[in-house]
Structure 1
Amino acid sequence: MANYAVGDIQGCYEEFEKGLKKIKFNQKKDYLWLTGDLINRGPDSLKTLEKIYELRSRVHIVLGNHDLHFLARYYSGRKKQKSDTLKEVLKDSDCKKYAEFLIKQPFFFSKKIKLSNGSKKKIIMVHAGLPHDLSYKDCLRLNKLSQKFIQKDPKKNLKKIFFHHRKTNFKITSLQDKLSFFINALTRIRICDDNGKILFSFKKGLKDLPYNYLPWFKLKINAIQEKDYLIFGHWAALNGKTRKKNIMGLDTGCVWGNKLTFIRLEDKKKYWIKSS
């Protein structure tokens, strides 16, 4: 049995399928960890969803901002964006099935696995990153509350929460604002200041950091210990590089013509599929 994590697929089905063959994925024994942004912008979002749904009993998923965008379009009539490639999915007869599957997925996932050296390691997975001041227990609790809130009334509550990011740190009292901040932070964070205040609008690379801002993972992240691993996607401009031994970026910009990254978590062996 092996655990393989995959960076942002974003509807790049051909590369995803090639990667599964390259790692010789065994759907009876192995597990896939998907860091979110499964669909949108790439050419084959429907095929990608079909494959993931087929493998659903062997897949761990966290939702990304593009997955949330799809759910908001399906449930609450969110407007189409110029870069959307969701038309085929939204018109498909199985769209309801895929939406109901995705809306049950978490924003924060963790699991202990046995490494190749025999030791056990806690792996934490998020799409974009973590606010530095949230504890591990905070993340578990807020993830559970966020899932319940969205699932209770998707049409109403996705409108309330989706991209509602007036708050840029966790110093808020309203539960709804806390959930909104938690969801936006875990699906959209890239940089923050020394106090953890997030600049959500930033989408560039490390060479273009604004004054007094730094990557979220440069702060001490309370939710993870040095002995843990954290994997994330979202920030393609990093090309997977964090210079942190226990924090690994997996979005390597397949949808932008670069490559799709797979990593075997037991020994950190990486596999790359060039974008076609």
Structure 2
Amino acid sequence: MAHYAVGDLQGCYTPFKQLLAQVDFSPSRDHLYLVGDLVARGPDSLACLEYVYSLQSSVTVTLGNHDLHLLSTVLNNKPANPKDKLDALLSSATLPDYINFLQSQPLCTYLPEFDSFISHAGIHPYWSIEHAIELSNWAQSYYQGPMAADYLSKMYGKNPAIDLPPSDPQLKFNTIVNVFTRMRFLTEHWQLDFDNKGEVNKGELLQPWFTHPRFKTSRTRFIFGHWAALQGKTSLNHVVALDTGCVWGGPMTLLNLSTNEQITSN
């Protein structure tokens, strides 16, 4: 049995299947951990979700910002962004099944057998793994619950503070979503920056979340996607960036969790 983590699919079905063929992936024997953004921008989001849905007992998804945006679009009956190329998916008769499946997936997961933490965008330096799992479970109870459409419709915004006020569940929800699905750079006070997506060198005022001293001494492996501009490089062997920009013409990347070997699509 093998365990694999795979970078952002973003509707790139053919490279995804080619990558799984390269490692002879078998749903009856192996398990996939997808770091999120299964859909949007690529040519075949419907095929990606159809296939992932067929693997349900052999796959775990940590939801990304595009996945949550799909949930919000469908649950709020809003038109999709044409750039996301979701027409075929949104017209599918089995769309409700795919939405239920995505709602059943977490924002992060921890695999003790590999001492590995997986999420779409990373983990905030101030959050322990145990706290992060608790926050993921709390947020999931809202995007699964009866008020899911309302909370998802209000999840957007650019509040930089890491606020988790019990008196304001919407703000708490937004903060959790922002960290797990949108985070890249943090300010000098380790608050969120939403305006920069590119290369790492932004000077002293902005720093990638994984440059916090905590990650230099941690033995845990942190696996994430979301940040294609990194081209899979973080300067830390145990902080693994798996979004290598397949949707923008780069390869798709798979990590063997047992051997730490990385494999890219042809």
**TM-score scaled by structure 2?**
0.94
1:165 aligns with 2:158: yes
CA deviation digits over 1:143-164, x for unaligned, max 9?
111001111122222113x223
Other structure's SS at 2:11 match:
coil
1:261 aligns with 2:253: yes
List alignment gaps of at least 5 residues for structure 1: 114-120
Query: Is the 1:49–1:98 contact (alpha carbons within 8 Å) kept by the matching residues of 2?
Result: yes
CA deviation digits over 1:8-65, x for unaligned, max 9?
0101000001011101001111110100001110001101101101111011110001
Question: CA separation in 2, counterparts of 1:210 and 1:49?
Answer: 39
Question: CA separation in 2, counterparts of 1:220 and 1:4?
Answer: 28
Other structure's SS at 2:263 match:
strand
Which of these residues, 118, 123, 130, is aligned with residue 116 of structure 2?
A: 123
Question: CA separation in 2, counterparts of 1:126 and 1:267?
Answer: 20
Question: CA separation in 2, counterparts of 1:151 and 1:210?
Answer: 40
Query: Is the 1:3–1:266 contact (alpha carbons within 8 Å) kept by the matching residues of 2?
Result: yes
Aligned residues: 263
CA deviation digits over 1:224-257, x for unaligned, max 9?
9722111000000001100112110000000000
- Which residue of the partner structure matches residue 118 of structure 1? none
Other structure's SS at 1:142 match:
helix
- Which residue of the partner structure matches residue 89 of structure 2? 89
- Which residue of the partner structure matches residue 213 of structure 1? 206
- Which residue of the partner structure matches residue 176 of structure 2? 182
Other structure's SS at 2:81 match:
coil
Other structure's SS at 2:110 match:
strand
- Which residue of the partner structure matches residue 32 of structure 1? 32
- Which residue of the partner structure matches residue 116 of structure 1? none
Question: CA separation in 1, counterparts of 2:79 and 2:197?
Answer: 21
**TM-score scaled by structure 1?**
0.90
CA deviation digits over 1:121-177, x for unaligned, max 9?
3111010112111122221211111001111122222113x22332x1224523331
Question: CA separation in 2, counterparts of 1:141 and 1:225?
Answer: 23
Distance 1:179 1:225, change over 3 A: farther
Cα RMSD between the aligned structures? Answer: 1.7
Distance 1:81 1:106, change over 3 A: same
List alignment gaps of at least 5 residues for structure 2: none
Query: Is the 2:12–2:44 contact (alpha carbons within 8 Å) kept by the matching residues of 1?
Result: yes
Identity of aligned residues (%): 34
Alignment of 1:29-108 (within 5 A): 29-108=29-108
